[in-house]
Amino acid sequence: MTTQPQTETLPVNRWNDAEAPTSDGLASLTYRSRLLGSDRTLVNIYGGNTSTKSVEKDHLGRDVTVLWVKGSGSDVASITEKGFAGLKLDEVTPLFDRAAMSDEEMTAYLDRTAFEVGRPRQSIETLLHAFVPAKHVDHTHPDAIIGIACTPTGPDIMREIYGERAAWVDYIRPGFTLSQQIGAAVRDNPQLEAVVMGKHGLVTWGDTSKESYERTLRIIGEAQTYLDAHREAQPFGGAAVQSVPESEREALLARVLPILRGAMKGARPVILSLDSSPEVMEFVNSHAAATLSQVGAACPDHLVHTKRVPMYLNWTPEQGMEALVAEAAAGVARFKAEYEAYFNENKSDGDVMFTPSPRVVLIPGLGMVNSGPDAMGAEVSRQLYIRAIQVMKSSSSLGGFVSLSAAESYAIEYWPLELYKLSLKPAPKALEGHIALVTGAASGIGRAIATRLSAEGAHILIADLNADGGKTVADDLTALRGFRRAGSVSMNVTEEGQVQAAFRHAALTYGGVDIVVNNAGIASSAPIEETSLEMWNRNQSILSTGYFLVAKEAFIMMKRQATGGNLVFIGSKNSVAAGKNAAAYSTAKAAELHLARCLAEEGGAAGIRVNSVLPDGILAGSSIWDGKWRAERAATYGIDPDKLEEFYRNRTTLKVNVLPEDIAEATFWLASPAAAKTTGGVITVDGGVPTAYVR
């Protein structure tokens, strides 16, 4: 192997001989793959593929040479040994001598060469790894390499950097022909250390896993050194606008994000994320961004997650809030029309158009907005466009950025082999893409509701006066459900400013809100002559006024989104049945129910449904019942506090105790598409209390 002096910009070598597997097979491949994936400047999220060839025993004890290659759709950063496909290499390599092979033929053939059942389908670029005659092969998408590969003079620059040590292959869609071209280049030129694929990426190899890894880093480091020597002093032509100060930026984004999110909705809502990092702001604020961003994708692997181009808002901070709002709605409409035209110009029979909304939105002065079917989808879009910015930055300094044509882009975006990756995802759950704000969710009924909605795919915002408890619930849900699936915000429902801040937080965190559960509450009990004005006002303030303030902000945000919405009020048996020694509590609960019915009438035209769930006697997990309320209610009925749960059970028609999870189930149904034609409704979940039967 030819050695070159290390450069200052060589990617960090993370190989640790003490940690690396001593064998040079699948375990070592897994180790190397995860090292490469740990640096996103080398390998895109879900992108790239790695392989090794090893001799294994088959089910009859015979020696078989196996090609282990990354499974389709996996991410090398987190891959395990089970994430690799295993193919019988001796059955694959004869394909090199074929004249041609369609994608369908290639896939069907490779499926029949499986060495081991139960493993994932092999990578789209499996033949590349089979045809390169080296034990270990890495295919990566390094920023530095693609920055050169996406310039008009890429082949010349590569020769200047590597001489005869690297071969250049013009862009064609991955598959049989590209793999054959790369295999031939390596077989016919033993001095090669790498192959650069135009507008695509890098292939490197080695006799050992460590050698392959270190060669990959060295080849990339040489390219980075060249880029550093040609870096522009004013990237992207310098700044055309200045970033909006953070305090003003949040106000602008909180207003525009729900509008963007609503306009971007397809069959399901989307989740948004924000990025206003220095590298993003340098690009979106620049003179070049408006035109450069519309050239095309920086790498074929980006297309499914970013679309061919982002949406660039024709707006500057000097134009103000209303102009931003107007341009956001108009911009999405333009993008959809242009995407539909792109689809119609390139479609084949049977193609079904994806939702024609942008996955990336660039807003001068404010930053980048990314969308996805969930928070992780938005994060993948964000990460990939960060990589695109770095590629465009490098290409621009070397004579210009070039990308795939519209036809080439479409051929990747709607490529059946790429669509197969998407098909590996489980079917979406009922509330996938929805955002739910649940008040009083740090414990009891609210926590159960948040957990149930999260289980059905919703992203949850816990809004509770108990900030620490709310954070604990959010952290638990995120650990259970995945990346950014839940967050929390401290909120006192009686303080209008705090309620407004919570909804602003929802907009900035996820892009808006679809489901609001009014659940926060207290309880108090006393005969009327012992009911103080303070007790009366406190019940009204939290249970009635609090529900009003939350509902008001929900309506404002949902109408901005213009996609409908759901409010669920958690009332009480006391909403419809007289409660002895509970006048303050019962009156406030009755007000909640009537407010919900009034809002159902108001929200109908906007597709906003408002329904109520009326529980009774739920002691389990409730912070309310841990206070004086248990003793007060027990005293009302003349029983010992420890007997209260039994008392409530025995007075029900069904002779059951009601649990927080029972209320959560009713809430989920009302918030789900299954209840799409229900509004102004009331569901009693009390085990059957005849005095509370809804009349």
Strands (E), 444-510: 459-464, 486-490
CA dihedral (237, 239, 241, 243) positive or negative: positive
- Encode burial over 163-172: b for 16+ CB neighbours within 10 A, e otherwise: eebbbbbebe
Q: What is the spatial distance between Cα 659 and Cα 685, in angstroms, rounded to a whole number?
A: 9
- Encode burial over 671-685: b for 16+ CB neighbours within 10 A, e otherwise: bbeebeeebbbbbbb
Q: In this structure, what token pair is assigned to residue 510?
A: 């996820």
Q: What is the spatial distance between Cα 237 and Cα 664, in angstroms, rounded to a whole number?
A: 55
Give yes or no for a contact between 195 and 125, defined as CB atoms under 8 angstroms apart: no
Q: In this structure, what token pair is assigned to residue 45?
A: 């999220």
Nearest Cα neighbor of 476 from 465, 466, 467, 487 is 487
Q: Which long-range contacts (CB under 8 A, 24 or more apart) does 468-475 make?
A: 469/442, 469/443, 470/441, 470/442, 472/442, 473/441, 473/442, 473/447
Q: What is the spatial distance between Cα 473 and Cα 463, in angstroms, rounded to a whole number?
A: 11
Dihedral of CA atoms 117, 122, 128, 134 in degrees, nearest 10, equals: -50
Give yes or no for a contact between 612 and 568, defined as CB atoms under 8 angstroms apart: yes
- Write phi, then psi, for 330 (nearest 5 degrees): -65, -35
User: Edge-to-edge strand order for the sheet containing 435-439?
Assistant: 486-490, 459-464, 435-439, 515-518, 565-570, 608-615, 682-685
- In which element (H, E) is residue 149 found? helix 143-149
Give yes or no for a contact between 660 and 668, defined as CB atoms under 8 angstroms apart: no
Give yes or no for a contact between 213 and 152, defined as CB atoms under 8 angstroms apart: no
CA distances from 529 to 132, 205, 405, 533 (A): 90, 86, 80, 11
Q: What is the spatial distance between Cα 30 and Cα 378, in angstroms, rounded to a whole number?
A: 27
| DSSP-derived secondary structure letter, 512 | -
Dihedral of CA atoms 451, 452, 458, 464 in degrees, nearest 10, equals: -40
- Could you say which of 385, 585, 637, 693 is catalytic? 585
SS3 582: strand
Active site annotation includes 109: no
Strands (E), 440-479: 459-464
**Residue for token digits 């009601």?**
658
Helix axes 546-561, 246-264, angle to 10 degrees: 70
Give yes or no for a contact between 179 and 254, defined as CB atoms under 8 angstroms apart: no
Nearest Cα neighbor of 39 from 12, 16, 19, 20 is 12
**Cα Rg, the chain, nearest whole Å:** 30
- In which element (H, E) is residue 361 found? strand 360-363
Q: What is the spatial distance between Cα 414 and Cα 411, in angstroms, rounded to a whole number?
A: 6
Contact partners, residue 13, CB within 8 Å, separation at least 6: 214, 217
Catalytic machinery residues: 585
